[in-house]
Structure 1
């Protein structure tokens, strides 16, 4: 799952929101670096990633990606699933997507001093362009995938990868609709 899903699956407290987002920005040992609430959020992020990567529906979605991009299919499906979450947000939350993202941005701003440098550097752009809510538009997914193509150091062909979303839109949306309720239940189980 990508940023939006991880934030959604947090328990909503500032520490949990931060921790669930930091899972994409910190590696290795985190003990004695962050507060217990943030550490718990990072561990939830990691458990969600393991559950997602091993789930048959997610694996089936990955197989829809063309062979020339299959190596990065997990990254692509993570972003595509965030698109479906944003697009169908009201199916999963009673809080509007705009209110949710505004709260997330405020929490991140209020805690900027503890964020890793890479997150601090992208935060102004994330807020200014409302990355999280923009995922509902395929043009934002295109920008996200293209941006990832530049951030990955090794040679890749992610650029233009949004075409994989268009080619498989209905099936990917159906996969997400079956998978996400299971992920919600799993995250509630492991976070309690």
Structure 2
């Protein structure tokens, strides 16, 4: 799952939630400076990812991705699922999405532990662009895929033009939406949540 789902599927503890949301950004030596509660959130993140990565409904979603982007199907489905979560938010959380993300951004800004520059820059950009709320819109998903493509290019020198994979969302929209509608309640049950509790 991507950032928005991890934020929702968290305990109320600020440090736990931040550990769950930021687990992919806070790695290596940086984790040694984090509190036990933050690290508990990191482990929760890993638990969610392990369940998601091995679930047959998620595999079905990945099989909907066409051959040119199949190698990135895991990344794409994670991001697409956040789109469907944002658009069915009221079914999963009593707080409006805008209120939920505003609180999360404030928690990130006020967190007293200093992150390394690269992590802090990613957090600052997430907040400045209101990226979590942008998942509601297909254009926001396209922007997210462009950022992912740019990061891959920085690491590999290869441009896979993942921003064009937004067509995988629009062309398979109903099927992916149905997959998400079946999968997400199972994920919530797995992590011990009630349908609307948070």
Q: Decide which of 182, 188, 196 is 1:184's aligned counterpart.
A: 188
In structure 2, the residue matched to 1:50 is 50
- Normalised TM-score (structure 2): 0.90
Distance 1:116 1:96 in 2: 31
Conserved in 2, the CA contact under 8 Å of 1:146 and 1:161?
Answer: no
In structure 2, the residue matched to 1:108 is 108
Give yes or no for the alignment of 1:11 onto 2:11.
yes
Give yes or no for the alignment of 1:166 onto 2:175.
no
Pair 1:139–1:19, CA change in 2 (3 A) = same
- The aligned runs of 1:38-117 (5 Å cut-off) are 38-111=38-111, 113-117=113-117
Conserved in 1, the CA contact under 8 Å of 2:16 and 2:38?
Answer: yes
> Structure 2, unaligned stretches of length 5 or more?
194-198
String of CA shifts for 1:75-119, please: whole Å, max 9, x gaps.
000000000000110000111111110010000000164334323
> Structure 1, unaligned stretches of length 5 or more?
none
Deviation at 1:12, TM superposition (A): 2.4
> How many residues in Structure 1 have an aligned counterpart in Structure 2?
189
RMSD, aligned CA: 1.7
Distance 2:5 2:40 in 1: 16
Conserved in 2, the CA contact under 8 Å of 1:21 and 1:45?
Answer: yes
Distance 2:117 2:37 in 1: 20
- The aligned runs of 1:10-29 (5 Å cut-off) are 10-28=10-28
- Normalised TM-score (structure 1): 0.92
- The aligned runs of 1:135-174 (5 Å cut-off) are 135-152=135-152, 153-154=155-156, 155=158, 156-174=160-178
